[in-house]
A = this chain, B = another copy of it.
Amino acid sequence: MPKPSNKAEFVAAGMRVMFRQGYHGTAIRDVVAEGRVPQGSFTNHFGSKEAFAEEVLNQFFEQTKAIVAQALGDRSLSPRQRLLRYLDLITASLAADDYLRGCLIGDFSIEISQTSEHLRERLVAIYREWLRPFEDCIAEGQKAGEIDDRFTPQDLADFLLTSWEGAILRMKVAQLQEPLERFKKIAFATIFAKGT
Protein backbone atom coordinates (compact mmCIF):
# COMPACT_ATOMS: atom_id res chain seq x y z
CA MET A 1 0.00 0.00 0.00
CA PRO A 2 1.49 3.38 -0.96
CA LYS A 3 2.11 5.80 1.90
CA PRO A 4 -0.27 8.78 1.89
CA SER A 5 1.44 11.81 0.37
CA ASN A 6 2.00 14.76 2.65
CA LYS A 7 2.98 17.06 -0.20
CA ALA A 8 -0.12 19.24 0.25
CA GLU A 9 0.64 19.62 3.98
CA PHE A 10 4.18 20.78 3.13
CA VAL A 11 2.87 23.37 0.67
CA ALA A 12 0.20 24.67 3.09
CA ALA A 13 2.73 24.90 5.93
CA GLY A 14 5.28 26.53 3.60
CA MET A 15 2.79 29.20 2.62
CA ARG A 16 2.07 30.09 6.25
CA VAL A 17 5.78 30.29 7.09
CA MET A 18 6.70 32.26 3.95
CA PHE A 19 3.93 34.81 4.60
CA ARG A 20 5.57 35.46 7.98
CA GLN A 21 9.27 35.10 7.22
CA GLY A 22 9.63 35.52 3.47
CA TYR A 23 11.56 33.24 1.12
CA HIS A 24 15.07 33.85 2.46
CA GLY A 25 13.91 33.82 6.07
CA THR A 26 12.31 30.38 5.70
CA ALA A 27 14.32 27.27 6.50
CA ILE A 28 12.99 23.81 5.65
CA ARG A 29 13.07 22.95 9.38
CA ASP A 30 10.58 25.83 9.99
CA VAL A 31 8.21 24.29 7.44
CA VAL A 32 8.64 20.85 9.01
CA ALA A 33 7.85 22.30 12.46
CA GLU A 34 4.87 24.29 11.15
CA GLY A 35 3.34 21.35 9.26
CA ARG A 36 4.32 18.59 11.71
CA VAL A 37 5.51 16.55 8.76
CA PRO A 38 8.62 14.32 8.70
CA GLN A 39 11.71 16.17 7.42
CA GLY A 40 12.84 13.12 5.49
CA SER A 41 9.85 13.20 3.17
CA PHE A 42 10.60 16.78 2.11
CA THR A 43 13.32 15.67 -0.29
CA ASN A 44 11.02 12.97 -1.67
CA HIS A 45 8.65 15.69 -2.86
CA PHE A 46 10.86 18.68 -3.62
CA GLY A 47 14.30 18.78 -5.16
CA SER A 48 15.27 22.09 -3.60
CA LYS A 49 13.97 25.04 -1.59
CA GLU A 50 13.56 26.89 -4.91
CA ALA A 51 11.36 24.10 -6.32
CA PHE A 52 9.37 24.03 -3.08
CA ALA A 53 8.86 27.82 -3.16
CA GLU A 54 7.59 27.52 -6.73
CA GLU A 55 4.93 25.02 -5.58
CA VAL A 56 3.92 27.37 -2.76
CA LEU A 57 3.75 30.30 -5.20
CA ASN A 58 1.68 28.26 -7.67
CA GLN A 59 -0.72 27.28 -4.90
CA PHE A 60 -1.10 30.92 -3.85
CA PHE A 61 -1.75 31.91 -7.46
CA GLU A 62 -4.47 29.24 -7.75
CA GLN A 63 -6.20 30.82 -4.73
CA THR A 64 -5.80 34.28 -6.28
CA LYS A 65 -7.25 33.11 -9.59
CA ALA A 66 -10.31 31.75 -7.76
CA ILE A 67 -10.91 35.26 -6.34
CA VAL A 68 -10.37 36.79 -9.80
CA ALA A 69 -12.96 34.40 -11.27
CA GLN A 70 -15.42 35.11 -8.46
CA ALA A 71 -15.20 38.90 -8.89
CA LEU A 72 -14.57 39.39 -12.60
CA GLY A 73 -16.98 36.60 -13.56
CA ASP A 74 -19.92 38.21 -11.75
CA ARG A 75 -22.04 39.42 -14.67
CA SER A 76 -24.56 41.04 -12.33
CA LEU A 77 -21.97 43.80 -11.80
CA SER A 78 -20.72 46.41 -14.26
CA PRO A 79 -17.05 46.06 -15.37
CA ARG A 80 -15.97 48.86 -13.02
CA GLN A 81 -17.89 47.26 -10.13
CA ARG A 82 -16.23 43.91 -10.87
CA LEU A 83 -12.76 45.43 -10.51
CA LEU A 84 -13.72 47.02 -7.21
CA ARG A 85 -15.28 43.73 -6.09
CA TYR A 86 -11.94 41.99 -6.64
CA LEU A 87 -10.09 44.52 -4.46
CA ASP A 88 -12.82 44.26 -1.80
CA LEU A 89 -12.52 40.44 -1.71
CA ILE A 90 -8.73 40.70 -1.34
CA THR A 91 -9.20 43.32 1.40
CA ALA A 92 -11.50 40.94 3.28
CA SER A 93 -9.03 38.06 2.96
CA LEU A 94 -6.21 40.26 4.30
CA ALA A 95 -8.41 41.54 7.14
CA ALA A 96 -8.97 37.96 8.24
CA ASP A 97 -5.25 37.75 9.03
CA ASP A 98 -5.06 41.05 10.94
CA TYR A 99 -3.29 42.71 7.98
CA LEU A 100 -0.16 40.75 8.65
CA ARG A 101 -0.18 38.46 5.65
CA GLY A 102 0.12 40.32 2.38
CA CYS A 103 0.40 38.94 -1.14
CA LEU A 104 2.93 36.22 -1.85
CA ILE A 105 3.25 37.37 -5.49
CA GLY A 106 4.30 40.83 -4.27
CA ASP A 107 6.53 39.40 -1.54
CA PHE A 108 8.37 37.18 -4.01
CA SER A 109 8.60 40.03 -6.55
CA ILE A 110 10.64 41.97 -4.01
CA GLU A 111 12.56 39.11 -2.52
CA ILE A 112 13.60 36.70 -5.24
CA SER A 113 13.78 38.72 -8.48
CA GLN A 114 17.52 39.15 -7.96
CA THR A 115 18.34 35.79 -6.42
CA SER A 116 16.42 33.21 -8.48
CA GLU A 117 16.16 33.68 -12.22
CA HIS A 118 13.92 30.62 -12.38
CA LEU A 119 11.38 32.05 -9.91
CA ARG A 120 11.59 35.50 -11.53
CA GLU A 121 10.60 33.94 -14.87
CA ARG A 122 7.74 32.12 -13.15
CA LEU A 123 6.58 35.48 -11.72
CA VAL A 124 6.70 37.06 -15.20
CA ALA A 125 4.38 34.28 -16.45
CA ILE A 126 2.11 34.64 -13.39
CA TYR A 127 1.66 38.39 -13.95
CA ARG A 128 0.84 37.72 -17.61
CA GLU A 129 -1.89 35.23 -16.70
CA TRP A 130 -3.16 37.31 -13.76
CA LEU A 131 -3.49 40.47 -15.87
CA ARG A 132 -5.41 39.00 -18.81
CA PRO A 133 -8.94 38.90 -17.26
CA PHE A 134 -8.39 42.42 -15.90
CA GLU A 135 -7.48 43.65 -19.39
CA ASP A 136 -10.70 42.16 -20.77
CA CYS A 137 -12.80 43.64 -17.97
CA ILE A 138 -11.19 47.09 -18.41
CA ALA A 139 -11.72 47.00 -22.20
CA GLU A 140 -15.40 46.27 -21.54
CA GLY A 141 -15.56 49.12 -19.00
CA GLN A 142 -13.99 51.52 -21.48
CA LYS A 143 -16.58 50.58 -24.12
CA ALA A 144 -19.31 51.17 -21.52
CA GLY A 145 -17.84 54.61 -20.77
CA GLU A 146 -17.02 53.69 -17.15
CA ILE A 147 -13.21 53.80 -17.33
CA ASP A 148 -10.73 56.34 -18.73
CA ASP A 149 -10.10 55.33 -22.35
CA ARG A 150 -6.97 57.37 -23.01
CA PHE A 151 -4.84 54.35 -22.02
CA THR A 152 -4.78 50.78 -23.27
CA PRO A 153 -6.52 48.07 -21.20
CA GLN A 154 -3.05 46.48 -20.86
CA ASP A 155 -1.57 49.65 -19.34
CA LEU A 156 -4.51 50.17 -16.99
CA ALA A 157 -4.62 46.55 -15.82
CA ASP A 158 -0.91 46.59 -15.01
CA PHE A 159 -1.26 49.99 -13.30
CA LEU A 160 -4.17 48.68 -11.21
CA LEU A 161 -2.59 45.45 -9.93
CA THR A 162 0.86 47.02 -9.56
CA SER A 163 -0.36 50.04 -7.56
CA TRP A 164 -2.47 47.64 -5.49
CA GLU A 165 0.70 45.69 -4.65
CA GLY A 166 2.10 49.02 -3.43
CA ALA A 167 -0.96 49.49 -1.20
CA ILE A 168 -0.46 45.99 0.27
CA LEU A 169 3.23 46.75 0.87
CA ARG A 170 2.21 49.91 2.74
CA MET A 171 -0.42 47.98 4.71
CA LYS A 172 2.29 45.63 5.96
CA VAL A 173 4.17 48.53 7.51
CA ALA A 174 1.11 50.32 8.90
CA GLN A 175 -0.64 47.07 9.94
CA LEU A 176 -3.86 48.86 9.11
CA GLN A 177 -6.46 48.56 6.35
CA GLU A 178 -6.15 52.30 5.60
CA PRO A 179 -3.72 52.09 2.61
CA LEU A 180 -6.05 49.62 0.84
CA GLU A 181 -9.12 51.83 1.36
CA ARG A 182 -7.17 54.94 0.33
CA PHE A 183 -6.12 53.29 -2.93
CA LYS A 184 -9.67 52.23 -3.79
CA LYS A 185 -11.11 55.65 -2.89
CA ILE A 186 -8.67 57.57 -5.12
CA ALA A 187 -8.32 55.17 -8.07
CA PHE A 188 -12.07 54.52 -8.38
CA ALA A 189 -12.96 58.22 -8.26
CA THR A 190 -10.45 59.12 -10.97
CA ILE A 191 -8.90 56.68 -13.47
CA PHE A 192 -11.52 54.01 -12.96
CA ALA A 193 -14.47 56.44 -13.03
CA LYS A 194 -14.42 58.25 -16.32
CA GLY A 195 -15.80 61.75 -16.40
CA THR A 196 -16.20 62.25 -12.66
Contact = CB atoms under 8 A, between A and B. Distances in A.
Contacts of A173: 109, 113, 120, 123-124, 127
A115 interface: yes
B107 A110 contact: yes
Given A25-B24, A156-B186, A172 B115 contact: no
Contacts of A158: 170, 179, 182
Interface stretch (A65-73, A77-85, A147-155): A147-155
Contacts of A164: 166
A4 B154 CA distance: 55
Given A25-B24, A113-B175, A174-B124, A183 B163 contact: yes
Contacts of A127: 170, 173
Contacts of A174: 124
B191 A190 contact: yes
B167 A115 contact: no
A22 B148 CA distance: 37
B109 A151 contact: no
Interface in A117-148: 120, 123-124, 127, 148
22 contacts: A19-B114, A20-B115, A22-B110, A23-B25, A24-B24, A24-B111, A25-B111, A100-B113, A107-B110, A113-B172, A120-B173, A127-B170, A127-B173, A155-B182, A155-B186, A158-B179, A162-B166, A162-B169, A162-B170, A162-B179, A165-B169, A169-B169
